[in-house]
Structure 1
Amino acid sequence: MAERRVVVVGYEGAELLDIACITTSLEMANRIGSVSPPYRISVVSPGGQPIACQSGLTLHSQGSLPRTIGPIDTLIVSGGWGHTRAAEDPVIVGNVRRLARESRRVASVCTGASVLAAAGLLDGKRATTHWQFAQQLAAHHPAVTVDADPIYIRDGAISTAAGVTSALDLMTAFIEEDHGAGLARQVARALVTYLQRPGNQAQISMFTAASPAEHDVVKRVVGHVTANLDADLTTATLASIAGVSVRHLTRLFLTHLGQSPGRFVRLARTEAAAHLLATTALPVTRVAARCGFGTAEALRQAFVSRYGTTPSRHRAANATHG
């Protein structure tokens, strides 16, 4: 194979960042890895016309979707606010279906999953999309098993990535598959990504999500938890700090966060541990202590439950420290 041909499908209202995360990641692999075969990337649109992105910027395409022919290594459909119109456009849907038959693997980013679903490519498969549009995708395409939680899902030759920058994670997974873990990690570092996240990691981290509740007691307790992960955070202690009963605090958490105080604490500690494992060289025992786990074994159990892997394997796959 002289090259790995990658075709990215854009359309009016596509998200520029969806496209850029794909093209920049693969171009970076070419540049810093001198990969063989290299990726040859082209962005195509329904008529070969410039793509008016949802950001207001215009992106020149490099070809016409109907005139694009295989063989193709990787076909990727971008997302964006224009995805609904794109999924209803017979030119886009028909040509994506056609090109999928001529591609080694097929993927979507964000709401681009709606185009793959309209083409029938996700029927009987598990797929993800941006969490804001997951219910819409499931309602319109009941033959698709929609899971809004992971940042990407790979089901056979079809991959779907969640919102926007999850394309970086899917691309590094593709680079690792094609050229090895070493180059994938180099690309992740060059792009200054937080870490090369496993596909089963949740789309929304509790540390990046918007404030989860307006209730003053809940907000105060959440703030205390995230600032004092190594402290005594039993529900009884938190209730005492908040000046309410254990029963009342539990009821407030269930109402406003959909989970008990104990579960919230466990998830907060596990996410913090994942960050430390990826970005520092602290021994696992130190990470466990800093995040409030009594022992490394307690951290391991929480980690396996949350991420489906052990702390040491997570560090080996995602470390960004030198």
Structure 2
Amino acid sequence: MPQRTVLVVLFDGVQSLDVTGPLEVFAGAERHTPGTYRIRTASLDGAPVRTSSGLTLVPDGPLAGARDPHTLLVPGGEGTRTSDPELTAWLRAHGPRARRLVSVCTGAILLAGAGLLDGRRVTTHWSYCAKLARDHPSVTVEPDPVYVRDGHVATSAGVTAGIDLALALVEEDLDRDAALTVARHLVVFLRRPGNQAQFSAQLAAQTARRDPLREVQRWITEHPADDLSVEALAARARLSPRHFARAFRDETGTTPGRYVDRVRLEHARRLLEDTADGVEEVSRASGYGTPEAMRRAFVKALGTPPAEYRRRFRPAH
């Protein structure tokens, strides 16, 4: 198996976790299968850089002395807001030579500025998707996914999404066992699929202020197959249905029904991606009751029925 060089670009104002998260994944894969990866870091002049959190990172050397890598990884951070023309020029000249272009968070802004994302589907941190799309109309920005693969270009959302993407790349380069070993060592999920939304239901909605409503939110997440009608949830919160519905909407920013719908959809997606359970079993476990009810929910929210969703997004075993 050929050794793959992973070159990580460093610059002042870089987000430290955008660098160290993927690096820990590739380093773990190298420990699992020695000779797989050669990991290098480089800044423009080879000098140490100060991250957005104040941490100082010492690169292995200057970009000028770096050999063309298999994987060129560009992290994000505050330093991407004002691109260094010299760094942009280096990326424009050397990016096309890499076998695989990877960005984490707002690193996509640097790649786009160098013209390396033209005609590509990409993502970035949710708060910068609109800016990226506005500044680079030739780039198709998808604001929802954790990461997006388009040919040899792979872009991810913020911070921890870089770990998800790196694990997916390790699974592609080696195998699922290697990625699983690394994930266990880092105590993270093996694979948060790229199509998964940057926000889960719990993150997309606000956390309720009052304990009874927070308890209801937790209950919904842990018991998607239970009776989650407004009446049942109101009884759990010890409120009248009308008072409960109004308070839930006011404190979370969404209605109980929409919250339940999103939790059930996420639960069903995880089961389809990570288990071999049949569609009927998944529909019952996720609170849909029947495969037809789940099919309607998938088509409405995702534009694809459950069986097709599983075919597209469940990894090969």
Give the TM-score, by structure 2 length.
0.81
- Match runs of 1:185-204 below 5 Å: 185-204=180-199
2:120 pairs with 1:122: no
Corresponding position of 1:56 = 54
- Match runs of 1:218-257 below 5 Å: 222=217, 225-226=220-221, 228-234=223-229, 243=240, 245=242, 249=245, 253=249, 257=253
Separation (CA, whole Å) in 2 of partners of 1:30 and 1:69: 19
2:294 pairs with 1:317: no
Separation (CA, whole Å) in 1 of partners of 2:120 and 2:250: 32
2:149 pairs with 1:154: yes
Residue 255 of structure 1: how far off its partner (Å): 11
Q: Unaligned stretches of 5+ in structure 2?
A: none
SS of aligned partner of 1:159: strand
Deviations 1:263-296 (A, max 9, x none): 3212212323555678889887666545423246
Q: Which moved more, 1:267-276 or 1:115-124?
A: 267-276
2:4 pairs with 1:4: yes
Separation (CA, whole Å) in 1 of partners of 2:280 and 2:138: 46
Corresponding position of 2:133 = 138
Opposite residue 113 of structure 2, the aligned amino acid is A
2:101 pairs with 1:103: no
Separation (CA, whole Å) in 1 of partners of 2:206 and 2:259: 14
Corresponding position of 1:172 = 167
SS of aligned partner of 1:195: coil
SS of aligned partner of 1:199: coil
Query: How many pairs align?
Result: 312
Opposite residue 261 of structure 2, the aligned amino acid is R
Does the C-alpha gap of structure 1 residues 194 and 297 become closer, same or farther in structure 2, counting only changes over 3 Å?
farther
2:83 pairs with 1:75: no
Separation (CA, whole Å) in 2 of partners of 1:284 and 1:139: 40
Task: Tell me, yes or no, if the aligned pair for 2:207 and 2:251 is still in contact at 8 Å.
Answer: no
Separation (CA, whole Å) in 2 of partners of 1:257 and 1:314: 32
Separation (CA, whole Å) in 2 of partners of 1:206 and 1:249: 17
Separation (CA, whole Å) in 2 of partners of 1:207 and 1:281: 26
Residue 200 of structure 1: how far off its partner (Å): 0.5
Corresponding position of 1:19 = 19
Does the C-alpha gap of structure 1 residues 138 and 280 become closer, same or farther in structure 2, counting only changes over 3 Å?
closer
Deviations 1:5-31 (A, max 9, x none): 111111111111111122111121121
Deviations 1:48-97 (A, max 9, x none): 11121122211110121233342x21111011122112xx2111111011
Separation (CA, whole Å) in 1 of partners of 2:58 and 2:139: 33
Residue 218 of structure 1: how far off its partner (Å): 7.6
- Tell me the C-alpha RMSD between the 2 structures: 3.7
Separation (CA, whole Å) in 2 of partners of 1:211 and 1:255: 7
SS of aligned partner of 2:288: coil
Opposite residue 73 of structure 1, the aligned amino acid is H
SS of aligned partner of 1:268: helix
Corresponding position of 1:66 = 64
Residue 186 of structure 1: how far off its partner (Å): 3.0
Opposite residue 175 of structure 1, the aligned amino acid is V
Q: Percent identity?
A: 40
Residue 234 of structure 1: how far off its partner (Å): 3.4
Q: Unaligned stretches of 5+ in structure 1?
A: none
Give the TM-score, by structure 1 length.
0.80
